[in-house]
Structure 1
């Protein structure tokens, strides 16, 4: 502990400090430490005057109760199935105790930070205060530095931070401190190809329902996906009540003119939606429609084009998430130091029940080992709030199989080889989406360029009960294969999968082919949005957190993917990672959706015909 902190504590004890009882004052001790990931190096001292939006996660009062409610309303065999909690219900469960808030406020006041300078999440379980680095260093008894990533980008972080001992049980985490989590868009991490071929004939379902007549492995179109996954003749009925959303980060946005060109070619009846979908701007996120020549907006265009082509006329919201406040470059820093991911999460959790979308697709993630355990657990608990409120939250499972070649090394300084799981896919309260390719049959997505559907086992979160049976069956099939490189008792992912190879996309006005689980994720989200449409029309609640249903009953309405392997980590074993298998596997999950079977399994009864669709 620093000399300044010792003097402060001694002075308070000697004076009796009228602001709070003497026994509430305590010396500082390390609250959290985290190894600096291998891809980052300390480069320089942090600029003392740089402002950071510090977020303090105050311990939630009754998360265990929230988790119980989440599993009850998500279990298809429970009497409360589908009885999602309201915004008010969730807020009551997660708001901190008065004692916790009082102690945190007193600590901040001791450091010259008045409550008038604070802002709060809807439940007051997160407190935000903007401070220069030198004041945060004093507040947390730490030292920040500029860290440089191997790709040249930089950020300001510290490897450990401290709190007064009496606050350790009242504060879960404080960020940005020791988290090196960078939620990266998946599409731009891959080779993006300009399309130079001819698309398959755009025949209608009525002319030829045969997938092989419609689908081609290079240039997958909405008609192909709608036919393959059986939504082609479903007529949405609940667009006024049903909603879907996607999230953009790191300057990515969704170009309306590209989307219009795409829909005009592949889903002409939906083309006007290119100009009617809504942006929800968070902390000055980008909605720029300027044409750029870099890789920016490849992810954004892929997401919006896929979701509108599949889910139209379901209303779509695109969250445009920026840093807070807007980043101003200074000595040694080239990118936003703040945490836009938390900005998005807190914004969505504050939305009223009538505004909240029923599905959200996010095609961004990072290595789990870049995230301190305290931070990962708290973010995951916040995601559970969305599930309890009836939101299906989808994350892409990653594009490097079990880990990028040359990077499959633990983050603890030992240098031990390890498969590298991805977060937030490892959070047990979200649904992780893997990728397939080809058609008769579909197989695990893999390209010689290094792209491979991601999957594996968390090193932070234990295996949830809902997937216990399925995962144990898989582990039995592979025996001791690569057992030393992963945590067999961890939360396993992905949960399901969909096409994710050579998607037809329009970007910068040009036909482009994009691959990745970043394609699979919005595709699945839009299909589940149509499932919700049918449920609402049938007078039933929407799916919400679908994993308990998926592993208990829903898997029977999915096509099992039994060919292919995760690959990645060429330096480990045979470099093939986890193989697919009969039943669930950590490459394709339970498989790919069959829309008709899904809604029948959910008790929505109707018939299809080639003239009127579903009724």
Structure 2
């Protein structure tokens, strides 16, 4: 989309809405970026009718409602939440005055992604000062502003936040599972292969992927994580010989990177296509780290441009709630609500740190992850076999994530469950106890929760 030529906005000199960088000690500044270097910024435009959208989500999700199951189309959602003409016009004028080019929107028109030079971006967002940083486990290079930015007062009612300035790429949720604290000789572990999962949950070809053409599923890959077709084929040769399965991914949405196959992305695709065998599978890809430093936001923008897409999506990434700005977390939660209104089931990993306890001023507090803590997704934790050498009953795995959101209120349908099972609990429990408060229980492979 090329912005039309319109008169520049009359912006008041006073500023409002100050957005800060959250400190991250693992990233080192290499100095100021070249003023002529280009970067991509995402502008989250203020939406309309969010209370009405929330009501519709409750109605289509409640079995007792006459609207149950009558999900909205993407076009219905767009008609409901599309920014007002005033918002669209004001933001267009603001970006045009700054020299923004190559701007792209989505069907719902509530996001704009534009390319600007560093010089233009710093003029557009007073206070911002872009630096090159290096960090992360793979020594990744990114451009961020260590200083807060401000929005002109005239823009405050029209822009929720600007993405691409502050947040550093989160690390993958895949971690090495700690060795169990046991003594004595331990035998060979059974291993959680596709055959084990299919036997444990009785996933027969008659029940799963029995040829119905309208079944589909999807997973997402971020942070320079990619799957490779050749690895998938080899995996299926090794583990898929005793059940019917699809030979390849049906569709990749986004750009598939050319880097080496990532462990997490590979596991996600391989186990999804083994448990949900013979079902059409899509992969949503957000390559790189510079543009995709808001990975969930980028992924949700892809969903906002697809009218026909799988109804089940699984994502094994997350951030600690307290590492996210209020504007960002609330807006992403709205995007998850939009997906729920369309009947999309979004499965998110609960993490590998129990309830995520940490100490603040000598008091232990929960540290839940997001989007796992959103009321509009299904959060999935991990289990292990009670007898590790047999396919037996399962118990909660001791690294499986969980906890209660510190941002979002508990949904009404969960109140009675919580009150009956947690009357004696409080938020000042020791961290070793916190680990047993879980979102939900399920596991696909050892050492990582899906």
Q: TM-score, normalised by structure 2?
A: 0.84
* Deviation for aligned residue 1:45: 3.4
How many residue pairs end up in the alignment?
426
* Deviation for aligned residue 1:285: 2.8
Residues 112-150 of structure 1: per-residue CA shift (max 9 Å, x gap): 34xx64221111100111012222111110223345557
Over 3 Å counting, the alpha-carbon distance change for 1:428 and 1:148 in structure 2 is: farther
Matched, 1:242 2:215: yes
Matched, 1:111 2:98: yes
Over 3 Å counting, the alpha-carbon distance change for 1:192 and 1:265 in structure 2 is: farther
Match of 2:349 among 396, 399, 418: 396
Residue in 1 that maps onto 2:283: 318
Match of 1:496 among 434, 440, 445: 440
* Deviation for aligned residue 1:484: 11
Over 3 Å counting, the alpha-carbon distance change for 1:46 and 1:387 in structure 2 is: farther
- The SS at the match of 1:461 is coil
Residue in 2 that maps onto 1:441: 393
Counterparts of 1:77 and 1:253, CA distance in 2: 42
Q: Is the 8 A contact 1:432 1:495 kept in 2?
A: yes
Match of 1:365 among 311, 318, 326: 318
* Deviation for aligned residue 1:357: 0.2
Q: Is the 8 A contact 1:59 1:172 kept in 2?
A: yes
Over 3 Å counting, the alpha-carbon distance change for 1:472 and 1:256 in structure 2 is: same
Counterparts of 2:8 and 2:404, CA distance in 1: 46
Matched, 1:84 2:84: no
Q: Is the 8 A contact 2:348 2:379 kept in 1?
A: yes
More helix by share: 1
Residue in 2 that maps onto 1:177: 165
Residue in 2 that maps onto 1:598: none
Matched, 1:285 2:282: no
Counterparts of 1:269 and 1:175, CA distance in 2: 46
Give me the CA root mean square deviation. Answer: 3.2
Residue in 1 that maps onto 2:414: 467
Q: TM-score, normalised by structure 1?
A: 0.63
Residue in 2 that maps onto 1:65: 52
Counterparts of 1:423 and 1:73, CA distance in 2: 24
Bigger radius of gyration: 1
Over 3 Å counting, the alpha-carbon distance change for 1:302 and 1:64 in structure 2 is: same
Over 3 Å counting, the alpha-carbon distance change for 1:377 and 1:494 in structure 2 is: farther
Q: Is the 8 A contact 2:98 2:124 kept in 1?
A: yes
Over 3 Å counting, the alpha-carbon distance change for 1:50 and 1:458 in structure 2 is: farther
Q: Is the 8 A contact 1:263 1:271 kept in 2?
A: no
Counterparts of 2:190 and 2:428, CA distance in 1: 33
Matched, 1:267 2:267: no
Matched, 1:25 2:25: no
Unaligned 5+ residue runs, structure 2? 1-5, 180-187, 387-391
- The SS at the match of 1:99 is helix
* Deviation for aligned residue 1:337: 6.8
Counterparts of 2:411 and 2:189, CA distance in 1: 35
* Deviation for aligned residue 1:224: 2.3
* Deviation for aligned residue 1:156: 2.7
Matched, 1:383 2:383: no
Residue in 2 that maps onto 1:352: 307
Over 3 Å counting, the alpha-carbon distance change for 1:493 and 1:279 in structure 2 is: farther
Over 3 Å counting, the alpha-carbon distance change for 1:183 and 1:36 in structure 2 is: closer
Counterparts of 2:245 and 2:164, CA distance in 1: 41
Residues 185-221 of structure 1: per-residue CA shift (max 9 Å, x gap): 323x22599xxxxxxxxxxxxxxxxxxxxxx954012
Residue in 2 that maps onto 1:230: 202
Matched, 1:34 2:20: yes
